[in-house]
Structure 1
Amino acid sequence: MAVDLSTLTIKNAATHLSAASVSRGVAHAVLFKRAGTTEIISLGIVTSLTPVRDRQTDDFKVPNTLEGGPQVTLFTEVTSVTRGEDFTTVTRDLDVLGLHAGSTPDKVAATGAYKDAPIFDNGAEGVNTGAALRITNSGAGSKSRVVFRPGATLTGTGETTDTTAPGLEFELRGAPSGVTWKVPAALMGAVDVVYPWGVTFILNQADVGPAAKILFDSIT
């Protein structure tokens, strides 16, 4: 059964192949919605993806006697938590290139030979803020894993040098600070719980598109 994303309005739908790729068994599709916009951009053909789950801690230690001696850990404090994905795409349309650059190609020559040539700001930090959704086929019973991050950063980190399919490398990270997002009632009923990191659903493939629309529509 195909993963049908036709319920979504994807800005680069004419060139993105994420839905078809997932349908054929390619593992992942990634969609991103920049903060302050209504545009959903597909990252296209994702050739590799590595989930990132990291937790950094710092031990507070004291001597085990009044006279000193070996230190013992009094408590452990969590200093940082990282959740996200590192991935590569071989899709290089203007929307994906813009996400990689961290800017939009809105500066073009008005006239002359270079009229309409896209120009990206090299001074951009390459960081995009917004909401992200990842679709991964589970391979069992026509199910898909949908990971939704209502607060996220997407950063272009590098390029691969494969001569047949050079790729763009990205770092996607959850950004929960200040996020008060709740799962829409259409997906979870009236459970009033804040999920700053977002949620993961295991869905029938036929339900992925409608659920993705509800999730993105919940971000204002």
Structure 2
Amino acid sequence: MGGAASSPANFEPVFRDKDDGKRTTEVHQFRAHGDTWIQAVYTNEMSTVESILDMYLEWLKDERYRFVGLDLEYDFQQKKLRCQDNIYALRQFLKNKDVTFVGVDIRTDHRLLYKQWLYIPPGKHLDLQDMLKIPGYGNRAGMATMASDLIHPKYAGMKEKFVTDYDKFVGHNYWEWKPLSDMNLEYASIDGYVAYELARIASIVNQGLHPLLGKGL
């Protein structure tokens, strides 16, 4: 069953529940580029969140650069986060001073996190637009531009391919819906991976180690 999309800004489908009300933990695999794959865990179960965050912290102990790609998606009006009350583990993870969170154009993300009482310590939420300068773009290059120049040409059109489809319940207008579509999950997963990889590259370049890029740093 579909719906007209003549006025997308004011259109919110009502013929499917926004939330199926189920406890959900799913593991998905997405190809980032070439032979690089991402494993994504989609969950609203706090026990799973806690175990995944504990696993991240163990991994980060062995990381030279303790970066975590952080990308927020907003509700239908793009004004607020949809956030559960019982998120103690996430709050503690975001407050961890041993972790540095990275994203692109983080101004809105930072403001919305603060409104949900989700705090990241000063200096631990970095904007990739401040870390990487792409010739011809100044300090406002988007994620797709940075990723296509520095990681893989595939990412050049990563944003244009992600469009809202009201018949399929996918795209930017459906971040507050559950279950999320595979398209939304793939988009979010790749955003997180790309943010991490760009931060890693930025650190290598800034330390003068750029000849070693691609050799496992």
Q: Normalization by structure 2: what TM-score?
A: 0.30
Tell me the TM-score normalised to structure 1 length: 0.30
Larger radius of gyration: 1
Higher relative contact order by CA 8 Å / sep ≥ 6: 1 or 2?
Answer: 2
